Amino acid sequence: MQGADLDIAQLVVRNAKPGEEIACLITSTSRKMVRFSNGEFTVSQAWNEIETAILYRNHGKIAVGSTLSTAKDAALGLLDRLRISAASTKPKQDFSKLAPRSLSQPTTEALKERVSDEKLADMVLRADSAASANGAERSAVVLNSEDDLWHLVTTTGAELTATSTSNHLVIRAFSGQGSGQGITASSHLSNLNPEAAGTRAGELARDARSPEPGEEGYFDVVLDPSIFANLVDLIGYASSAYSVESGFSFLAGALGKEIASPSLSLYDDGLLKEGLLVRPFDDEGYPTQRTPIIEAGQLKHYLTNSHFSNKMGIPNTANAGWIEPRPWNLEVLAGKDEEDDLFSGHVIYVTNNWYTRFQNYVTGDFSTILRDAVFEIKDGKRIRALKGLRLSDNLPRMLSSITALGNKQYLIRWWEVETPVLLPYVRIRGVHLTSAD
C-alpha cells in the first residue's frame, strides 16, 4: 500500500495548473491496542488509517483540506474543491513557502518489529502480575503500538518519505482507597519494561490505600514525570507561534526574556533518538531540528512554520503544520540532583493528574485535579497519603520557582500527554494546593 500512497501524492501534484503551488501529505497509520482489567482482556483491536491532506495556494489565495478515502478520484476531487474554496478567499501577503527540493532529506525508516497479539498480551499480563506482586488488589492496563508512514510531495520538487514507531503501556493499580499509575514507553516494543511499570503502580496504590483529606495551602512539591510531562506539553503548545498570535499563550511577548528558573532547559526535537514522533521533515518539507524553547530559563524560540516565520520575522523552526506549528518531541534536560535529594525536608509528592484547564491562557493561571497517589513526605519518608486535592496555580510562577531537577530522564506518553516528553522529576517551591470539591 505504501507505493499506492506515494502514487496518489504524485498524481495530485502533477495535476497542478500554472501558478498553483501544492503540497500533498499522505499519512498512513497502523495501530494495535490491548486493554486488560479485572483479570480479563476487554479489548484487542487493530486498525489502519490513511489520510490524504492537500495544501493549495494560488497567488496568495490558500485552502487546506483532507480526505480519508484512498481512491485517486477522491484526492483529485478534493483538489478541485480546494480550488473553488480558495477562489472565494482574499489573498494573504504573509503566506507559507514550501521547501525547495535542495532541502529534501533522505528517507528514514524506523526499526520494524513483529507486533503479534500474543506479544502484546504477554506484556500486559506481565505488568498486571508485577502490580499484584507489589500490593495491588486489581489493575487496568492499556498497551498501544503504532506505526506511522508519511509521504510528502510538493510542486517545489520535494518528494519525502519517513516512518516512525510509538509504543506505550499504561497501568493503573488499585488497593483499598488508593491508586497508582505506571508508564513505560519506547519506539521499540522490545524496550518496554512492563514489570517496572506494574511494580511502580502497585507500590503507589499499596502505600496510598488509606488516604486522609489534604489541607489547602502553599507547599514545596515534587512532581512525578507523569504530571510534569502534562505541564511541559502545555508549554510546548504555548510556544507555538499560532498560540501566541491567537491569544492562547502565556509566552506572548516573552522572547529573549527570563521566564523560568535557570535550571530549566526545554527543547523540541524532531529527530530525538528516544522520540516517539520522529519526523526528518515537517509538513512543508523543511528539515526538522533540535530547537531550544527555553534555555537556562530564557525563552529562546517560538515554534514556527514558514508562514509565522515570515510574518513575525523570526527563524523557521520546521514545526509545520500548514496552519498551526506544533512540537514533535519535547525534552527537559536532566538536572544535577539525585532523585532522593528532591524529597529531603518537608514536601508533597504528586504522582499523577487529569483534567488540566486554564482559567486564563494569557496569564497562565490553571488548575488540575490530583489523581492517584499523593504523599506528604518528611526527610524522604512517606508520612501519609492525601486525597481530595487540586493544584491551582500560575504556570509561569511555577517555572520560576523550580528548585531542583532529578538527574534521570523518563519518556512519558499517555492520553493526558499528547506530545512525547522526555524529562526528570522536578521540585517546585510554594505550589498552591486547594480542595478538589
And the C-alpha cell for 3? Answer: 507505493
Query: Of 181, 204, 227, which residue constitutes the final position of a domain?
Result: 204
Query: Of 173, 204, 235, which residue constitutes the final position of a domain?
Result: 204
Give 187-219 pLDDT, tens digit per residue: 999 999 999 999 999 999 999 999 999 999 999
DSSP 112: P
Same domain, 122 and 221: no
Distance CA 391, CA 245 (A): 28
Give 281-340 pLDDT, tens digit per residue: 999 999 999 999 999 999 999 999 999 999 999 999 999 999 999 999 999 999 999 999
Same domain, 216 and 163: no
CA distances from 24 to 7, 129, 280, 327 (A): 11, 46, 17, 21
Burial (CB < 10 A; 0-12, 13-18, 19+), residue 248, is: middle
Strand 417-423 with 330-332, pairing? parallel
CB contact burial 270-297 (16+ within 10 A = b; e otherwise): bbbebbbbbbbbbbbbbbbbebbbbbeb
Task: Report the share of the chain in percent with pLDDT over 70.
Answer: 96
Q: Is residue 271 a contact partner of residue 288, using CB atoms and an 8 Å limit?
A: yes
Tell whether the model's pLDDT for residue 138 goes beyond 60.
yes
Tell whether pTM > 0.75.
Answer: yes
DSSP 323: S
Give 221-268 pLDDT, tens digit per residue: 999 999 999 999 999 999 999 999 999 999 999 999 999 999 999 999
Sheet strands side by side (includes 178-186): 61-67, 40-58, 20-37, 138-154, 159-175, 178-186
Mean pLDDT, range 11-39, rounded to an integer: 95
CA 22 to chain centre: 28
Same domain, 277 and 310: yes
Q: Is residue 202 a contact partner of residue 373, using CB atoms and an 8 Å limit?
A: no
Residues sharing a CB contact under 8 Å with residue 14, sequence separation 6 or more, in sequence order: none
Task: Report the share of the chain in percent with pLDDT over 90.
Answer: 89
Mean pLDDT, range 45-64, rounded to an integer: 94
Q: Please give the tally of structural domains in the chain.
A: 2
Same domain, 269 and 366: yes
Tell whether the model's pLDDT for residue 424 goes beyond 90.
yes
Sequence-ordered alpha helix ranges (H) in 55-193:
72-87, 117-133
Instruction: State which amino acid sits at residue 320.
Output: A
Same domain, 40 and 175: yes
Same domain, 162 and 246: no
Distance CA 340, CA 352 (A): 19
Smallest Cα–Cα separation from 57: which of 22, 14, 92, 93?
22
And the C-alpha cell for 10? Answer: 504524485
CATH number, domain containing residue 194: 3.30.2290.10
Same domain, 219 and 357: yes
pLDDT recorded at residue 109: 57
Same domain, 148 and 224: no
Same domain, 147 and 229: no
Query: Of 157, 181, 204, which residue constitutes the final position of a domain?
Result: 204
Same domain, 173 and 271: no
Q: Is residue 313 left, alpha or beta, with left meaning phi > 0 and alpha meaning psi from -120 to 50?
A: left
Q: What is the mean pLDDT of the chain?
A: 94
Instruction: State which amino acid sits at residue 115.
Output: V
Where residue 178 falls among pLDDT bands split at 50, 70, 90? very high
And the C-alpha cell for 153? Answer: 510531495
Same domain, 306 and 221: yes
Tell whether the model's pLDDT for residue 95 goes beyond 80.
no
Same domain, 360 and 339: yes
Strand partners, 331: 267, 422
Sequence-ordered alpha helix ranges (H) in 193-301:
194-207, 225-238, 241-245
Question: What is the extent of the structural domain holding 186?
Answer: 2-204
pLDDT recorded at residue 1: 43
